[in-house]
Structure 1
């Protein structure tokens, strides 16, 4: 087995492997290199395992240089994609060696759908809900709980309009809603250029579902499409309009559109387990899949474990549960919206996929 870095002439082989693998996710595709470099200027190192001239696994890595969290070598959400623990081990050994040479504090497998063996501290605080779309829209409608169907009807009766966009022309509306929503919940938003670069690098592989009330955008959901599955990445609804049931109407539109386009599954994306968000997603007839964070602390950085027994490398989880983070979440919505818009993308450079 040979571990090599992805070169442009091998992109087709890389992507063909990801699309064929049962572990492949859209975030494993090679075009994310361009998204990361164009948006943030990150250094990328996409590692590929080759066995007998065949791709056997991929590990897409990039470097986040940060004085706030310490230099980190990390994957996108999805972690690595490999055919066996042996292939994964070879990729991870190469990735760890790279991270140590770069002086990183940690190597992170972010939002991986399976825990890989190795010197990792592993936590599982999130889950993704996968809905099997089945035999068509009518059959799916009958499978839904009576209360869900009632909420969808309420949305239809509340003068809401829904549009599915596969060209990017509704990006401004989506980003407007997302920016307001993240400000309301106390989370810095990433820059619009991030979404622009995704649309530019993945033509024909995304959709944006927008909900309007009397011409005003009040909800937006961004999905990627690969193989037989639609993958939910980001969603937002303005709090002032929740009583109109836009979320229910949006999710039904996402599901029915996926069926109309011939997809077999909807991956609703990750949510913290045992939360209202996760319970809401569970109402749509899907099955939960655990989502793991795996961190390898390096000699140049992390201690082996924190005082409370939680892996020290689980930086994002520790930060969320700290008093400082709670104070930040309370402070952020109080900032003037233009100031939050200015600061948000600058902060997200340090935690691009928090």
Structure 2
């Protein structure tokens, strides 16, 4: 949707401009009368401005009446489907490795499960294993009639710096198991734990959204933000608070160029993304990580680049699956933070989501009450608490591989001082070992 002059806020801005013009003309008329100048042209201009003011005031009143008589769209309250269903499963259940012949059935199972995400797909686990050479297993549960009734994908990360552990799945916001019944979930966890024991891994992290009641140690300090989407961008725009709309318009005044596509934008995307990650003190993924992910999911992933004066200043990575569009990575340069370019970029992305028929926009995960938490909430998005379950080795404790851990504060401070080229060289080998 283009931001047109049909909005009440735009009429109000025009009205204020006209009032200033009317005051200026009034002063000019007063001065002209004193010296006896010809008033005809000034009077005509004054009357034209006065007429336009009256017309705008009338239109604003009509729009106010329409707004009060028509119910405004508000984002719906979203519910999260459970990863563990309560469907009838023929016993006994057999858990086995997903081999080449099983992949098609496993993909079909994920596609039909109501709680699945893009990152549950076997293709994603294969992508991680091939890109970073991590050991990985995809376990599927088969019922007595040979139907797939559950799945869990596991990736092992092992390094001297961060230790030996497993994640389902690393790098992305969602993962964990999908199962048709609690007994299937138990069987999958038991099989996953056997592999953890064989590899002497300290823990297994299962990235669930809902609290599945698995009886495992759990973390709940992360949230995602989901925004239900309407049929039209006009409905979405009208649902925003005036302050949010003003911030978007502030970004539009930069006359930024918004482009959306694929690998052809990778250079600009990575330049902005890597500089921002350095500023945050966070090791960055290699350029190849994004290129290969785009290649694996050509119909479900997009790169966004925002340019001002031919210079890339904002970027985002989008991933769509079923009815939800997710933004797992987004950045803008600190040098343009005062211009609200990020607000402009997110609005254009939301326009894209609505135009493609997505019903939910996923702003991605963050820590509770962090700055990004409030940024996402202001769009009207709903916080979705995440519940990450852990299978721990004896005497192991919950992991703390995150920037909030005090032991990493000095390293983060040093990283922020690195030149971007150095951070981009050192970062990929490090970040591949972080979940």
Query: Partner residue of 1:115?
Result: 211
CA distance in 1, matches of 2:96, 2:334: 48
Larger helix proportion of the pair: 2
- Give the alignment's TM-score, normalised by structure 2: 0.75
Q: What displacement does 1:349 show?
A: 2.1
Match of 1:33 among 119, 125, 136: 125
CA positional deviation for 1:4: 1.7
Relative to structure 1, the CA distance from residue 278 to residue 98 in structure 2 (aligned partners, 3 Å threshold; closer, same or farther) is: same
Aligned pair count reads 338
Task: Report the CA distance between 1:121 and its aligned residue.
Answer: 1.7
What SS does the corresponding residue of 1:68 show, helix, strand or coil?
Answer: coil
**Preserved contact between residue 130 and residue 286 of structure 1 (Cα < 8 Å):** yes
3-state DSSP class of the match of 2:315?
strand
Question: Is 1:261–2:353 an aligned residue pair?
Answer: no
Does the Cα contact within 8 Å between 1:104 and 1:298 map onto a contact in 2? yes
Aligned to 2:379: 284
- Confirm or deny that 1:348 pairs with 2:431: yes
CA distance in 1, matches of 2:237, 2:405: 42
- The secondary structure found in structure 2 opposite 1:230 is strand
* Contact 1:35/1:194 (<8 A) preserved: no
Residue range with higher mean Cα deviation, 81-90 or 34-43: 81-90
The answer to whether residue 246 in structure 2 is matched with residue 150 in structure 1 is yes
Residue pairs, 1:270-309, within 5 angstroms: 270-299=365-394, 303-304=395-396
Q: Distance in 2 between matches of 1:106 and 1:337?
A: 33
1:161 matches 2:289 = no
Partner of 1:235: 330
d(CA) in 2 for partners of 1:86, 1:223: 35
What corresponds to 2:415 in structure 1?
332
Structure 1 ranges of 4+ moved more than 6 A: none
RCO higher in 1 or 2 (8 Å CA, sep ≥ 6)?
A: 1
Gaps of 5+ in 1: 305-311
Task: Give yes or no for contact 1:155–1:245 (8 Å, CA) kept in 2.
Answer: yes
Displacement of 1:228: 0.9
Residues 82-125 of structure 1, C-alpha deviation per residue, up to 9 Å, x if partnerless? Answer: 23332221111110011101121111113x21234446321111
Let me know the Cα RMSD of the aligned residues.
Answer: 1.5
Q: Specify the alignment match of 1:2 in structure 2.
A: 94
Partner of 1:309: none
Report if the CA contact (8 A) 2:158-2:164 is conserved.
yes
Tell me if the contact between 1:123 and 1:314 (Cα under 8 Å) persists in the aligned partners.
Answer: no
Q: In structure 1, what is the equivalent of residue 289 of structure 2?
A: 194
Larger fraction in strand: 1
Judge conservation of contact 1:296–1:313 (CA < 8 Å) in 2.
Answer: no
What is the Cα deviation at residue 254 of structure 1? 1.3
Separation in structure 2 between the aligned mates of residue 255 and residue 16 of structure 1, nearest angstrom: 29
Between the aligned partners of 2:160 and 2:352, the Cα distance in structure 1 is: 43
Q: Distance in 1 between matches of 2:146 and 2:381?
A: 38
**Aligned 8 A contact 1:23 1:82 in 2:** no
- Distance of 2:337 and 2:198 partners within structure 1: 49
Structure 1 residue aligned with 2:187: 90
1:257-316 CA deviation, whole Å, 9 max, x = no partner?
A: 0111111111111011111201110111221111122222114xxx25xxxxxxx22322
Task: Report the counterpart of residue 22 of structure 1 in structure 2.
Answer: 114
Structure 2 unmatched runs, 5+: 1-92
Separation of aligned partners in 1, 2:267 and 2:100? 31
